[in-house]
Structure 1
């Protein structure tokens, strides 16, 4: 079944051109089932690209999903117009009384700022605590995962000597995990981060599911908080890393060519996607597990 997103959202045309089935509101209302309610807290500056990436993966499920786009309440975006945000997004204050079957917290380009110095950190604390009462299961990604690990587990992050940048082979540590059904033993995963998590600070409540000893922890299961923490970016499209590299080069930064992205390492060539199937698997497993375990009565979520 399709994903239901706002009828005029620009991502809709992109998704339809790729064959992702998108449902309008009137057709969805005629179906005698309860759609899964998924929220996406989009902290990235390029809102349209990020919402398209996640909608692409969520929309491939055979279940009906209502996707709600959420933003920080009082944060002024420098890259997305206020009209766009008011048209397609709700602030967290507007959804804080709602219940969600699933909720995604994206990364944010603020890796060098201590958590407590992030301007919207107080609201982030409220949101993370709110997921424990109003969300059945949460997926925290990149900076969102670092923030949640810091908040819930006092996990320590540290600055790596060089940026981890490219597509790297990882190891599956628990192939029996419901989040990893169908995964190959050593998937390729896009990575773009300056920070890693100190493994010694990860307590017994967390299980490392996907790992790379050199690049760092990739995916952790956090059953106590009904969450998974993805430190990397399976949601990225073909050109996400390439565009980041080209942007850094134009800015005069000494950013290396992203590893294992271009054919023969040639940055003039079109990037190759070696992770798409695992991205779909992760999100299909996540949505399927939510569907199997979430209460039909949404008032019971979080109890």
Structure 2
């Protein structure tokens, strides 16, 4: 079943070219079902690219989804037209009394800053707290994962000696968890970050469950409240060319950047990327939607306020 998206969103035409079926709000209104209500807080600089990445994955589900995009009101993006933000994004104050079945909070290019020095820290933590009581299940991605773990559980982040940049092999700590239904014993995930969270800090918090990690890139997925929060340090949503674009951008700036590890064929940028994470990315989002959103959210959406741990 396709996503119910606001008409004229650029991602619609981009994904139709990939034979991914999405529908606009007019057609969706003709279907007599309650769609899942989803919201994405998009903190990434390239908003349209990030929208397309997540829509691509969310659309690979038999569930109809009504998707909203949320922005930080105190921050003006530099890489997205203001007209796009005004047409397709909501301010938090307009949804503060609403409830959502699922939420995704993206990474942000502020990881080397102290959390409290980020100019939207107060607003983003207000949104974290709101999601805690107004959303059935939330995915925190990359910087948002680190920020959420710090905000709710006091888990610190650590600066890495070099950027964690590439595609890394991961293993399952609990293969029976429904989030991993259909996963192989080993799977790959792209990473692009300058900081990390550490296993020992996660294990010191009884409310947290370490679900997956990598011998190269460390902690990958942490669960809280039985699946009402997932904290994910990598970027399973990345399209095949994203790391290449990041690498070429940094090279053009004259930055001292290493070739992303395990990404290009034979580690040679001229040979292009070897894509080996999309299958598990689709499983991850489909499993999350099915087992932790659709099967747990109440039909009367305002009853989310009465949910305990899943």
TM-score range, shorter chain: over 0.9
Are residues 1:297 and 2:300 paired?
yes
Counterpart in the other structure of 1:51: 51
Q: Is the 8 A contact 2:198 2:219 kept in 1?
A: no
> Which of the numbers 257, 261, 264 marks the counterpart of 1:262?
264
Confirm or deny that 1:94 pairs with 2:94. yes
Residue 223 of structure 1, CA deviation: 1.8
Q: What's the counterpart of residue 275 of structure 2?
A: 273
TM-score, normalised with respect to structure 1: 0.98
How many Å apart are 1:225 and its aligned residue?
Answer: 7.4
Report the equivalent of 1:119: 119
Matching residue of 1:217: 219
Following TM superposition, by how much is the alpha carbon of 1:249 offset from its aligned partner in structure 2, in angstroms?
0.7
Separation of aligned partners in 2, 1:207 and 1:48 = 33
Superposition deviation, residue 17 in structure 1: 1.3
Equivalent pairs, count: 303
SS in 1 for 2:295: helix
Partner Cα separation in structure 2 for residue 19 and residue 153 of structure 1: 42
Query: Distance in 2 between the 1:59 and 1:5 partners?
Result: 11
Kept in 2, the 8 Å contact 1:154–1:201? The answer is no
Q: How does 1:111-260 map to 2 (within 5 A)?
A: 111-202=111-202, 203-223=205-225, 226-260=228-262
Q: How many Å separate the matches in 2 of 1:80 and 1:283?
A: 26
Residue in 1 that maps onto 2:110: 110
Listed as ranges, the gaps of 5+ residues in structure 1 are: none
Contact 2:168 2:216 in 1 (8 A): no
CA RMSD after TM alignment? 1.1
Deviations 1:123-181 (A, max 9, x none): 01100000112111100000000000000110011011221110011111111111111
Q: TM-score w.r.t. structure 2 length?
A: 0.95
